[in-house]
Structure 1
Amino acid sequence: MIKSPVLDPLATSIQRAEICQILGETYNQERWNDWRWQMRHRLTKLEQFQQLLQLTPAEERGLLIAPEKFAVAITPHFASLLDPKDPLCPLRLQVIPREEELIVSSTDLVDPCGEDRDTPVPGLVHRYPDRVLLLALDTCAAYCRYCTRSRLVSQGEMQPVMRRLDAIVAYLEEHTEVRDVLISGGDPLLMSDEPLDNLLRRLRGIPHLEFIRIGSRVPSFLPQRITPELVALLRKHRVWLSLHFCHVRELTPEVAQACDRLADGGIPLGSQTVLLKGVNDSEEALKNLFHGLLKLRVRPYYLYQCDPVVGTAHLRTSVQTGINLISKLRGHTTGYAVPTYVIDAPGGGGKVPIQAETLLAYENGKATVRNWIGKTYTYVDPIEAD
């Protein structure tokens, strides 16, 4: 197991005991490592956070209004990583609401990616010609304050996927152009093994489906869920995982063990990171995260510009910030550690790669290109034989 470069195991164990005391429990390592115990004991109440953290007035007001806007829930595991004294802790900024969530800009959108309009049957988004998004759950282990699907997630309005599955399968069987299914939500890995197995079995029974992915933040929020049985299930159905990490402090020994289990089990692992103000909007923060992920055999895949979700302006950077950061990474670290920077075009335009201009000119078979330190070079096309 890879040791965390950040956490002091003794300090962590003390924090765990304090969290259990807040929950009215006695710390027990076996219970702590049970993912169902973690889910049953998520922190959700203002008074719990008042005991755990030195809350700022902005956080207290955020926690008071949160139930009306977007639920708060944090696993004991992730709560144990929060800095109780620092309101600018990069993990705390991701999961503790602030009163700034009440500020709504004219450009904020309830459904920023335009998914609802591309939903032919409940719980299935079909935008790209050969790919679909299957929304399995409306529950997550913890709730990111920048959640793209806050209109759906934690609202309790989504029908269980097994009740919708016949219609979804019928649609996919009819649309033979679809070869790729991304299962997301909510977090599909919160499904118990049997229903998840049934869902994957039904999808694998469709002959033209070649590629099945699951989008999940469970390895970060709830690494205890990555059991040997779950890994065997994912391996059986040849599933890829798109994970979600935003800061190197998430890469704890438990997370390393979960990723080891997945990688050793033959599960391909990629990571999607959202660029967030105060969390990871520096070259050092991103480099540390991406290098840490590679150590865990997780390939940084996408760096997302934060979607313009209602009430998230305080967490969003400028696009120029993202361009500058990717430019600083490219050429200064291995290409494996440099994800594609994308904007999910508001209104349903899909993912658009964003980068500083590298092709300066291309004319008469000559391409003028700019490299990572700003120098220009010429590439000449091969001369075609007559």
Structure 2
Amino acid sequence: METHSGDVAVSLRRPKGRTAPLGLPWPQVSREQWNDYRWQLSHRITSVDALAELCRIPAEEAQRLSRVTDIYRLGITPYYLSLIRFDDPDDPIARQCVPSAEEVFGAQDGEDDPLEEEKDMPVPGLTHRYPDRCLMVVTNFCSMYCRHCTRKRIWTLGEAAKTEFELSKMFAYVRRHEEIRDVIVSGGDPLTLPTDRIEHILKGLRKISHVEIIR
């Protein structure tokens, strides 16, 4: 990858022994690129094959992990990958983002909806459990998918944001329920949405007079 004049290639070596894997395919990325969230998103690791090549995962283990990602998607940004200490099999950052066979083979011990959000979901995407507040899930997309996520059930729906029609249903519900003063905008990661979509959501909520807090 080319670097611009004056750019300093980013060292992917991190303090405290955290070292990027050998063969990381961005050795000449500029600091400007590395710090650009758009570059990070466009270079995410999204397949077990790519992860296995970078992290030297044995073929048999990669095959097991593919059975996991057939159900629960994989997404790791280069930055997050660079934080992993690959000489530690129990590295906590790796545990957070690298798939594990336990996700599938231990599934009988877990729940698809451990927080039971859908039991309190009067309209798709909106959970209203406590009288004065509600939660809006406005996108299924995350730049990095945490393996312990309590909303993994929505990963199977694809990396999609709620449509304007779906958002309008949520706004209408909030308008009808004047006891709601606090709205949590969540996902996925809502800050990965385009600026105009974030603005649309915030303006839609700000138009509701009894909503005092948006977070």
TM-score tier, shorter chain, comes to 0.7 to 0.9
Deviations 1:223-262 (A, max 9, x none): xxxxxxxxxxxxxxxxxxxxxxxxxxxxxxxxxxxxxxxx
Aligned residues: 202
> 1 or 2, which has the higher strand percentage?
1
The residue aligned with 1:118 is: 120
Alignment of 1:269-280 (within 5 A): none
Equivalent residues of 1:16, 1:76 under 8 A apart: no
> Which residue of the other structure, out of 172, 175, 183, is the alignment partner of 1:173?
175
Paired position in structure 1 for 2:86 = 84
Residue 109 of structure 1 corresponds to which residue in structure 2? 111
Structure 2: how far apart are the matches of 1:194 and 1:212?
17
2:20 maps to 1:20: no
- CA distance change for structure 1 residues 94 and 38 in 2, over 3 Å: closer, same or farther? same
Matched-pair contact (CA < 8 Å) for 1:43–1:49: yes
1:181 partner SS: strand
Structure 1's consecutive aligned runs of 4 or more residues displaced over 6 angstroms after TM superposition are none
Q: What is residue 229 of structure 1 aligned with on the other side?
A: none
Query: Is the alpha carbon distance of 1:87 and 1:62 closer, same or farther for their aligned partners in structure 2, counting shifts above 3 Å?
Result: farther
User: For residues 60-79 of structure 1, what are the structure 2 equivalents within 5 Å?
Assistant: 60-79=62-81
Change in 2 beyond 3 A, CA 1:159/1:89: closer
Find the aligned partners of 1:117 and 1:130 in 2 and give their Cα distance: 17
Give the Cα–Cα distance (whole angstroms) in 1 for the partners of residues 73 and 48 of structure 2.
Answer: 12
**Aligned residue number for residue 193 of structure 1:** 195
**Aligned residue type for 1:148:** T
Partners of 2:12 and 2:82 within 8 A in 1: no
Does the CA contact (< 8 Å) of 1:137 and 1:158 recur in 2?
yes
Give the direction of change, closer, same or farther, for the CA distance of 1:95–1:10 in structure 2 (3 Å limit).
Answer: closer
Report what 1:36 is aligned to.
38
1:137 aligns with 2:142: no
2: CA distance, partners of 1:209 / 1:66: 41
The whole-number CA distance in structure 2 between the counterparts of 1:168 and 1:115 is 15
Q: Deviations over 1:68-123 (max 9, x none)?
A: 22001100110111112222111001111122222236542111111112111111
Instruction: Report whether the alignment pairs 1:208 with 2:210.
Output: yes
Partner of 1:151, secondary structure, is helix
User: Once the 2 structures are TM-superposed, how far is the Cα of residue 10 of structure 1 from its aligned partner?
Assistant: 6.7
Provide the rounded CA distance (Å) in 2 between the counterparts of 1:157 and 1:37: 18
Aligned to 2:6: none
What are the within-5 Å matches in structure 2 for residues 218-367 of structure 1?
Answer: none
CA 207–166 in structure 1, closer or farther in 2 if over 3 Å, else same? same
Larger Rg: 1
The residue number in structure 1 matching 2:5 is: none
Unaligned runs of 5+ in 2: 1-10
Q: Is the 8 A contact 2:45 2:75 kept in 1?
A: yes
- Once the two structures are superposed, residues 125-170 of structure 1 have per-residue CA deviations (whole angstroms, 9 ceiling, x without a partner) of 1111111010010011111111100000353186624331211111
Q: Is the 8 A contact 1:73 1:141 kept in 2?
A: yes
Rate the CA distance shift 1:39–1:106 in 2: closer, same or farther, 3 A. Answer: closer
Deviation at 1:60, TM superposition (A): 2.4
Aligned-residue CA RMSD in angstroms?
Answer: 2.6
> Which residue identity is paired with 2:168?
D
Q: Does the Cα contact within 8 Å between 1:59 and 1:96 map onto a contact in 2?
A: no
For structure 1, list consecutive stretches of 5 or more residues without a partner in the other structure: 1-8, 214-386
1:95–1:56: structure 2 CA closer, same or farther, 3 Å change rule?
A: farther
Contact 1:82 1:89 survives alignment (8 Å) = yes
Distance in 2 (alpha carbons) for counterparts of 1:56 and 1:34: 32
What is the TM-score with the length of structure 1 in the denominator?
Answer: 0.48
CA contact (8 A) 2:125 2:138 kept: yes
Paired residue secondary structure (2:65):
helix
Tell me how far 1:45 sits from its aligned partner. Answer: 2.0
